[in-house]
Amino acid sequence: MDIHWILYSCIVPVTVQGVQISLPLVGISVLLRLCVLWGRLSSGVINTLAALLGVGALWMFYQTGVLYFAVLCLLVYVLLQTLTKHKGAIVAIVCVSFLIICEGYIEQAEVWHRVRGSFLVLVMKVISLSFDLDVTTNKRGERIPPTIAAVPSFDSFVAYCFFPGTLVFGPFVTYTEHSKFLTKSPLSAPWLYSVLRSWLLCLLCLAMSSCVFSFLFPEPAWNKWLAAYSAAASFRFSHYFVSFLSESTVLAAGIGYQTSTTSTHRSSTSYSWSDFAVVRPLFIELPRSLGTVVTNWNLPMHLFLKSYVFKPSISYLGKFGAILCTYIASAVLHGLNFQLAAVLLSIGVYAYIENVLRYRLSVHLNACVMDRPCPINCSHQHKKGSPLAWIVNIFFTLLAMFHLAYLGLMFGAQSHSESELQAKGFSMFHTLRKWSHLNFLSHWVALVSYFIYLLL
């Protein structure tokens, strides 16, 4: 690698481009927060302004693609006003049908592939809101009142759907969390630090993705696994770029804080901005398990899938069925794409196999080697710091990194022709050809792991 060329011909122009993309969104979010703090505008005016700024941001990135967002938003609001029960299930079916129709029959693949990420955020928003408006029952048959008492007013609903700090690049936030932006949380040094930290991290990850990992291990015949790791790492850091950018916009807009009340001579409320996170790269690059990767890849989406798919289905389908249902739901929401579906379903099955295998190993070895860290007072003889537990956990960390290189290869373009294909989404044959180049080794390893679990 030519370090001088990478610095001046790649990192500098890529960073400038990243600033040009990200700064308007962060600026819009800060402007909206300043309007809230001004205090002279009603909540209705603020909501309308938020929706207009969100539409403007969408137009800046997608032009006429904003029409799809508007149509789904209006359709869902009509359903919420007319339906008396099962709002969540019906809205979810409508949203999935809308996704399939747009991707399969209306829009060109290149255009929809570009819009799909933001559209996914909108879909998660309206589905979560619809379920939160439903009356549910627990295992004992007792009725549980809805999380949100009534359908929001139209201006509040549109502001939630088109909120500029959470729509273009995400993240998903619930309606309750979104409503925090109307609170006059004061400007502070911790807030400014959190926004700048996330924004600078997003630019760093963009440079790492485009200018470091893309050229780290070009592929000679003997080096295909290092090349696979390089391509997968480039994809992961591009994901970190989007995640940290969404983190900075949502914090800039005044969402994501935690409050606590201090009891002194006069009670006061303090605001903490450091706990909100969209992604945790360290838990992905050096994972304890694949389950850790899944959880920390996109924390808000993990919350959505856990709350609105996994928990409602586990009592009917069991743990494995609920896990499979969750990954199928994730694949469907991401679009009709074999590449995405194959990777998501593979990692779901892998994570389940690792979970049950490591549980059996923890019993047979009497060691803290499960896919999640044991509590401090666990009954295992060999604690996490013991040589046995350390060796086993390091082995599974390396195994997870191996699986990530194999699965992430699908999203890393290693040539100009692949970059053009990536704009549409890779086909089934291209995906299978990429994996066959690596001898389907990751899938074979997963199969062997499952047989070991059965033998234990």
Alpha-helical segments (H) within 102-186: 109-132, 154-161, 175-178
Listed as own residue / partner, the contacts of 387-396 with beta carbons closer than 8 Å and 24 or more positions apart are 392/361, 392/365, 392/367, 393/288, 393/368, 393/369, 396/288, 396/289, 396/354, 396/358, 396/369, 396/371
The pair of structure tokens assigned to 183 is 């609170």
* C-beta of residue 18 within 8 angstroms of C-beta of residue 132: no
Residue with tokens 């586990």: 314
The torsion angle over the Cα atoms of residues 163, 169, 172 and 173, rounded to 10 degrees, is -40
Q: Is there a catalytic annotation at residue 364?
A: no
Pairwise CA distance, residues 456 & 450, whole Å: 10
Within 8 A by CB and 6+ apart from 337, the residues are 425, 426
Pairwise CA distance, residues 448 & 59, whole Å: 50
Amino acid present at 355:
N
Which of 334, 403, 430, 443 is labelled catalytic? 334
Pairwise CA distance, residues 70 & 170, whole Å: 17
Mapping DSSP to helix (H, G, I), strand (E, B) and coil, where does residue 386 land?
coil
Within 8 A by CB and 6+ apart from 239, the residues are 279, 297
DSSP state of 367: B
Active site residues: 334
